[in-house]
Structure 1
């Protein structure tokens, strides 16, 4: 028996060595497969882009920046991002007012949608109070402050943001200074009108109340599930005074009203999800703006941007297997 164990132990180093060799070989094969997959993805993207990218004359250096003013009734309904919005004079006005470059990009549309929707509802006036959720590095706190609004801008704590990967992606406001936009709001006015709070959108602090308006730009789809995102919208309305306005933008699944992505770090809302939300809000005595689910049909609308995403055009994108664009939500708090 002793001799058997000596033989067994004597061969152990060789077996360990062979196992290590096999592990190295597996690792090498995985690396090779990953490189091949990346190459295939790039080649596929190049091919599909060549087949589907609109003629550059339709989007490069387009639309032109034209003189304009805020519109009186640009967004009577909660609507989807569409190319036609970018070509309106009010869109040029808001782009310049926010210190942005005019381009066909859905993130710019979200900023313009929020500003225009609140403006035409009379929510952007000196002395009114605004609450921003998950503000990141967006220009909206500076803009509202420049109009004399008292703004509380919120974002995740640094530790939570680091855990979620937002700091690494440069999409998190570490402090109030990160929100300064001198070209949008003079520093003295910004200092006077903006304060910064840490806030988990899944657990809004109970003292964040009595605001005239609140907003979020493409943040609520990162709360862990469709249900949590919808709950956040409902909870955000509770932060408002009676008659106050909540305006949010989020990801919208253009491909399907049945299949979607849920219970992940990014979720995709469907038409049925948003219709259920409107029913829930209206039943609680609030007023949810009717949704306009008509997709755009212009060349930049129908182009689907593939990862790694382009700087423009970027209105509809391929996200986790679905065509996705941005959609806005507009809610007025009821009298109760």
Structure 2
């Protein structure tokens, strides 16, 4: 593969603030924010220098900001497996249903919940990812919040959509670019829901300039190389229409 690190380090930029009430791209700068660092030990993680830990901290920060981390609230997570965020939500008194069911199968429960937090890696084709998000919004009560995280291709320039693996093998992954995220947000807005977007990509922090490569050391792992791309995570916060 091409040396992603050499050209990546030459491109400096500032990310969204971790506490900003917006959907955003993961950054090493966020790992130093007090409101990020408070979640890391609560998640029982040794450090926060990994994009998956960033996703969990982003989810928890968004849910806290929207008042979901309180007794009597309800959360519904799709495809969350054994992720550390689920027991932590329960420790706040949130009634959590974590399922690998489809949205259609689980939707009846979600419709009566006070809040539903839909968390998914958006795996599948581009349209399957879009459909997942749009369908998840139908499980929400008016004013409730959905939080999604997924892989994000932050490689500069015009490159085709990166897809790896296969659906049949169960390892298919689609790496959304800026244009896919913006297209998805346009669909969300078209149905009257609220989502604020800041896709600035941080490149000033050392963890942003470091691109982890196969076989992936994992520390830091905010940016990683996949083929000839630089990949990270993006988090979306969507508030259902009133």
Question: Into which bin does the TM-score normalised by the smaller protein fall?
Answer: 0.7 to 0.9
Residue matched to 2:118: 215
CA distance in 2, matches of 1:89, 1:278: 29
Structure 1 partner of 2:91: 146
Q: Deviating runs (4+, > 6 A) in structure 1? A: none
Native 8 Å contact 1:257 1:270 kept in 2? no
Q: Once the two structures are superposed, what CA deviation does each residue of 1:61-107 show, in whole Å capped at 9, x if it has no partner? A: xxxxxxxxxxxx81311111101110011122111112211241111
CA RMSD of aligned residues (A): 2.5
Alignment partner of 1:317 is 2:224: yes
Q: 2:160 aligns with which of 232, 253, 259?
A: 259
2:146–2:238: 8 Å Cα contact kept in structure 1?
yes
Alignment partner of 1:200 is 2:107: no
Normalised by the size of structure 1, how large is the TM-score?
0.62
- Structure 1: distance between partners of 2:175 and 2:183: 15
- Number of aligned pairs? 224
Aligned equivalent of 2:139, options 226, 236, 239: 239
**Structure 1 match to 2:30:** 85
Kept in 1, the 8 Å contact 2:116–2:146? The answer is: yes
Cα shift at 1:204: 4.7
Q: Give deviations 1:96-131, integer Å, cap 9, x for gaps.
A: 112211241111100000000110121221101100
What is the alpha-carbon distance in structure 1 between the residues aligned to residue 135 and residue 20 of structure 2?
Answer: 23
| Contact 1:130–1:149 (Cα < 8 Å) also in 2 | yes
Name the CA distance, whole Å, in 1 between partners of 2:99 and 2:158.
32
CA contact (8 A) 2:26 2:233 kept: yes
Matches of 1:277 and 1:268, distance apart in 2: 13
Could you tell me which runs of 5 or more consecutive residues in structure 2 were left unpaired when the two chains were aligned.
10-17, 167-171
Residue aligning to 1:305: 212
Give, in angstroms, the shift of residue 293 of structure 1: 2.7
Q: How many Å apart are 1:137 and its aligned residue?
A: 1.7
- Name 1:106's counterpart in structure 2: 51
In 2, Cα distance between the equivalents of 1:284 and 1:88?
Answer: 34
After superposition, the C-alpha distances for 1:151-206 in whole angstroms (9 at most, x for unaligned) are: 10012xxxxxxxxxxxxxxxxxxxxxxxxxxxxxxxxxxxxxxxxxxx136x5544
**Alpha-carbon distance in 1 for matches of 2:158, 2:239:** 26
Decide which structure has the larger Cα Rg and report it: 1
Structure 1 segment 41-60 matched on structure 2, within 5 A = none
Distance in structure 2 (CA, Å) of the matches to 1:228 and 1:287: 21
- Specify the alignment match of 2:73 in structure 1: 128
Instruction: Decide which structure has greater helix share.
Output: 1
How far, CA to CA, are the matches of 1:320 and 1:215 in structure 2? 29
Instruction: With the length of structure 2 as denominator, give the TM-score of the two structures.
Output: 0.84
